[in-house]
Structure 1
């Protein structure tokens, strides 16, 4: 029904319903009295027709002012019910004032209250009937598929509400299931809570359910695995609603469910962050992101754009990854000026010229060589990029008076045994050394592995699964800390907004994940059974690898911050002069390609590196 047609229809209906409500009130009031019919006629005859017309027209005007004729009632919810209540109540308060003042001279005072109840029921009922008819039409559509929603909280309610608001509905929610059995038989937007999660097979069969949607804000990996096992057993598709970050970025809408992904199995509570603080830190700034083509760099750029910087520069060594990032972000830059910079951070002169040209005020340094075995085979490149490249950026930031410099570090820098971890440890020392004597606020943010990043263990496992196996795990007891790129970046931005200079912020990643369990979960998510369809084999530790990582060493102290997901690491002071001399010597050895001496110097700075580097 078109909007103007609906308005005329509802006005005509209200012109009928309001007098009908008053008539019903008289009938109820005098029904049981002796000669009640004649008494009713007597009282009604005493009311001038003009007063009834006045009441009806007054109600129409009040309803119009309250917007009761401008609503699309198939979307009605609690707010619209409250609106109807307020509008009808105001009408009868206005009309009843003379009656109560006169002591019931015009008609019995009880008539006003009974009329109000009937009119409220009739006016509200006709609108709820419109919603019901609309939903019945959708439900009867042959195009919709029956779905079952897991979760009766805010997320489940919002998902069903948005689903029912769609004009051409593709999915029909036949019911909810929840872990709390006490919610059984409750209705949410007319959709019943059928029972508990373990009853899913029963409801799938009974209601011909084609898909089960997980709509929970925080769900453990164990519970997701349980639901996936049920789905696999009965042959029904399991999906999950998008994350908050995906919705905020505009990549998806709430009703676009997706496949269950490996990051959903982390079972971590959603990251809470302080938007105003981050906005104050980013808005209007000229920002550089190094390593912008990588997983963390690209996600940093995505989220930085949400806070309206003046300028955003995407810097990286690989032209394809930088251009891909730029193409993605340019569509939603919303007036933010952006540029692509292809440069090697090892090129000190070029880095200095870039800083001079663009006058950055905030720098996020996410560029690094991060692959442990690969850097074991190419230690000189790891040292040049992770140590000297970081020094070049820090020098330029100090020289051109950048306000804040944030370096993304790793848990592999804690008691490092690998070249990659050792170089990141030295990079941390450089940042801390400069923080002691600079107007620039130098900040370090340390966290673990990023799920799904390029070259990560997840990508390796997925590639092996596509090839039919085997999936290779180095050791059955190996564990690692994991985060998704969106939650890592949210905490980087929050840490940056909190930093005063010289801090190491540590992101809380929950419990470490067993790599063997991760491999088996990925196999199951791909629709296979571990060790039956896809074999899992153990390859042994590779050079530089550890069974487990630590987030801080024995000489560091953890301090709580205002954000429970962010901890402050208190470390021993760094001697700036010694660090600068060490880096200058490393640069000399690197330029002269004296690699054995270079590795020896690195081990002098970081004694925990494996002994084989002495060779």
Structure 2
């Protein structure tokens, strides 16, 4: 015979709990009398009149205690220590009141006690015991029914501390996430081999064997502070063994100090690709940016907006948010308002190709530092529209560089890309030409021109990771241009931290190259993202090879063949030793290239770009015939 426990779909009415508690209290009083007088009915008969006279007072006092301490308001099936405290306070206050009234009756009015003192004491303990047994019994019945109603997927919790315990409790009382906790893993040798909440604590180093032994299908990371390298290794092991990985959010995000299973989220690919936090000298950066007027172009973009966020921490006099993207600018303004930082900024809707608009901005705000992040960056689009790459990436940059010199800006930081190194596409070459113009202009005036060069940033607009996420949500396929294509990746905050540091250390004319770590195979990245989503390649979703796009490289580079690097005081920033350029010659050639826009002849435009940058060799492009 199978007993089915039906879970309640709604809470029991409060009035019912209130009356039930009074009934339990009354039963406790009767039990106290039964224990006190056992089978001596003749003694109880002598006390019967006292019992009847005191009963109305007793019921009123107990009801008042339950009402005042709100013992009936808690959801019984989710009884907590707070509910237990309310019960003890309600019974304790009532018992104290009964004793006080008894004393007054006896010593002042010379009458009988409400009840014998022994009855009062016994009733106190019996009432607390029965009320708590009732609540705990309902909770246990509910949890048992919940276990039967949810899946029993073998689940590990990484972290045998307080957050691990809270996670286990939350999983057991909510049915949103399928999973039965069968063990904990931890790095603390003092905990290994012990039991916690009925589950054994294992060494995290034995995770691969444990996954096979216990047939683990899910792992939940429930540690507040965890070494990034170790976390990535845990995730890698799980991915290799088809184990779904979930993460408990930062306690700061818990609502009223508690979290629900709805907050437990899958691991992001950023957690797998991220590296150790960057260490910066905040005092130096504060001296650099505090009370300065700073212009950020492309301020609404992925890199620009993060630079703005980080700059606000150093209390500049004003940050000028310059961008032509109206809606993203509006969203950034709202974000800054919510954070109480909007007073540090001014928003200018404008296009860096519009020299008059830029000049009015410089004339009004007099920027002391410029972060130039505005650019067209999509390789295939610029390969088809080289004239637009010239106007934005080259002429727009030239406009800013010329104005920086004219208005005696202190520092100018150009945000460049690894695609500018030995470029194989129009976009990369346009960024390299902007680099060359900035380098050549370094000694013309007060302005120090600095270039920062790095690879792809995780989660930036139009990057591969948001594309893969969208494709996974749509059921696939995930599109990869080549099975062997690789890219360097860095998180947006990480990249922007290094940009701020490079600006601080720059003396002018440098190209700073960031340590991007190991290059990542995009095909492997797609596989990992699919597995992190709990899906299987070939069964739930496909990966489709589409072929290299025009101008696309298999492998990105951070240095040109004629460049070498020197270390700086920051281990993750290198300085490239590059060729020098004469401003007059470079300026004439670049202006001649910009003038080609009027002709709208793409072939002629790209031909002129190749003359400016001899190492520009088109790859998988119609312009390869010009090489």
Cα distance 1:483–1:577, how it changes in 2: closer, same or farther (>3 A)?
same
- The CA deviation at 1:162 is 11
Q: 1:429 to 1:237 in 2, by over 3 A?
A: closer
In the alignment, which of 467, 477, 487 is matched to residue 494 of structure 2? Answer: 487
Q: Distance in 1 between matches of 2:235 and 2:475?
A: 25
Instruction: Summarize deviations over 1:278-310 as a string: whole Å, max 9, x none.
Output: 222121111111111111111111111112111
In structure 2, what is the equivalent of residue 291 of structure 1? 298
Which deviates the most, 538-547 or 178-187? 178-187
Residue 158 (structure 2) aligned to one of 150, 162, 168: 150
SS of 2:275 mapped into structure 1? coil
- Which residue of the partner structure matches residue 395 of structure 1? 402
Structure 2 partner of 1:376: 383
For residues 420 and 258 of structure 2, what CA distance do their matches in structure 1 show? 39
Q: Which residue of structure 2 aligns with residue 238 of structure 1?
A: 246
Aligned length: 463
SS of the residue aligned with 2:575? Answer: strand
Q: CA deviation at 1:470?
A: 1.8
For structure 1, which segment, 221-230 or 556-565, has the greater mean C-alpha deviation from structure 2 after superposition? 221-230
Aligned to 1:177: 185
SS, match of residue 371 in structure 2: strand
Shift of 1:337: 2.7
Paired position in structure 1 for 2:229:
219
Q: How much does 1:437 deviate?
A: 2.4
Could you give the per-residue CA deviations for residues 321-365 of structure 1, whole angstroms, max 9, x where no partner exists?
111111112221447432221111011111111111111111111
Question: Quick check: 1:147–1:212 contact (8 Å CA) kept in 2?
Answer: no
User: Which deviations, in whole Å up to 9, do the C-alpha atoms of 1:132-161 show, x marking residues without a partner?
Assistant: xxxxx9xx9999999965368xxxx79679
**What is the correspondence of 1:257-406 to structure 2 with a 5 Å cutoff?**
258-266=265-273, 268-334=275-341, 336-406=343-413
For residues 577 and 402 of structure 1, the distance between their equivalents in structure 2, rounded to whole angstroms, comes to 21
Deviations 1:364-386 (A, max 9, x none): 11111000001101110011100
Query: Of 522, 528, 550, which residue of structure 1 is paired with 2:529?
Result: 522
Residue 92 (structure 1) aligns with = none
Per the alignment, in what secondary structure is the counterpart of residue 351 of structure 2?
coil
1:199–1:367 Cα change, 3 Å? same
Q: Is the 8 A contact 1:305 1:336 kept in 2?
A: no
CA contact (8 A) 1:292 1:298 kept: yes
8 A Cα contact 1:504 1:568, kept in partner: yes
Q: How does 1:363-512 map to 2 (within 5 A)?
A: 363-512=370-519
In structure 2, relative to structure 1, the CA distance for the partners of 1:409 and 1:349 (3 Å cut) is: same
State the distance in 2 between where 1:550 and 1:494 align.
22
- Equivalents in 2 of 1:186, 1:561: separation in Å? 48
2: CA distance, partners of 1:507 / 1:501: 17
Contact 1:204 1:210 in 2 (8 A): no
Q: 1:251 to 1:576 in 2, by over 3 A?
A: farther
Q: What's the secondary structure of 2:529's corresponding residue?
A: helix
Tell me how far 1:428 sits from its aligned partner: 0.6
Matched with 2:151 is none
1:57-77 CA deviation, whole Å, 9 max, x = no partner? xxxxxxxxxxxxxxxxx9xxx
Q: Distance in 1 between matches of 2:258 and 2:558?
A: 35
Question: For 2:229, what is the secondary structure of its paired residue?
Answer: coil
Aligned to 2:133: none
Query: How many angstroms does 1:517 deviate by?
Result: 0.3
Structure 1 residues 265 and 400: alpha-carbon distance in aligned structure 2, compared to 1, 3 A threshold: same
C-alpha deviation, 1:532, in angstroms: 2.2
Q: Is the contact between residue 448 and residue 482 of structure 1 (CA under 8 Å) also seen in structure 2?
A: yes
Contact 1:151 1:216 in 2 (8 A): no
Aligned counterparts of 1:148 and 1:281: Cα–Cα separation in 2:
47
Q: What's the counterpart of residue 585 of structure 1?
A: 592
Q: CA RMSD in A?
A: 4.0
Superposed CA deviations along residues 483-540 of structure 1, whole A, max 9, x for unmatched, are 1111111111111111111111111110000010011111112221112211112111
Task: Tell me how far apart the structure 2 counterparts of residues 332 and 161 of structure 1 sit (CA, whole Å).
Answer: 33
Contact 2:425 2:616 in 1 (8 A): yes
Distance 1:346 1:186, change over 3 A: farther
Q: Is contact 1:472–1:538 with CA below 8 Å preserved after alignment?
A: yes
Q: What secondary structure does 1:385 align onto?
A: helix
Q: Could you tell me how far apart the structure 2 residues matched to 1:392 and 1:265 are?
A: 40
SS in 2 for 1:219: helix
Deviation at 1:252, TM superposition (A): 14
- Whether the 8 Å contact between 1:310 and 1:336 is mirrored in structure 2 is no
Contact 1:308 1:336 in 2 (8 A): no
Computing the radius of gyration from Cα coordinates, the structure with the larger value is 2
**What SS does structure 2 have at the residue aligned with 1:516?**
helix
Once the 2 structures are TM-superposed, how far is the Cα of residue 174 of structure 1 from its aligned partner? 10
Once the two structures are TM-superposed, the CA of residue 610 in structure 1 deviates from its matched residue by 3.6
CA contact (8 A) 1:559 1:569 kept: yes
Q: Write out per-residue CA displacement over residues 92-148 of structure 1, whole angstroms, 9 at most, x where no aligned residue.
A: xxxxxxxxxxxxxxxxxxxxxxxxxxxxxxxxxxxxxxxxxxxxx9xx999999996
Is structure 2 residue 605 aligned with structure 1 residue 598? Answer: yes
Cα drift, residue 560 of structure 1: 0.8
1:165-211 Cα deviation digits (max 9, x unpaired): x9xx999x9985236767625899xx9954333476599899x9994
Query: Structure 1 205/549 Cα, relative in aligned 2: closer, same or farther at 3 Å?
Result: closer
Give per-residue Cα distances to partners, 1:415-473, cap 9 Å, x unaligned: 00100000000011011111122211211110001112111122222222222222221
Query: Equivalent residue for 2:570?
Result: 563
Judged with a 3 Å threshold, the aligned counterparts in structure 2 of structure 1 residues 147 and 472 are, in CA distance, closer, same or farther, namely closer
Cα distance in 2, alignment partners of residues 540 and 202 from structure 1: 38
Distance (Å, rounded) in 2 between the aligned partners of 1:511 and 1:596? 36
> Structure 1 residues 474 and 418, CA, compared in 2 at 3 Å: closer, same or farther?
same
Verify the 8 A CA contact 2:158 2:164 in the aligned structure 1.
no
Query: 1:44 — aligned with what?
Result: none
Q: Which secondary structure does the structure 2 equivalent of 1:314 belong to?
A: strand
TM-score (norm 2): 0.66
Cα contact 2:386–2:605 (8 A) shared by 1: no
Q: CA separation in 2, counterparts of 1:371 and 1:210?
A: 38
The answer as to whether partners of 2:456 and 2:489 remain within 8 angstroms in 1 is yes
Structure 1 residues 402, 465: closer, same or farther in 2, change over 3 A? Answer: same
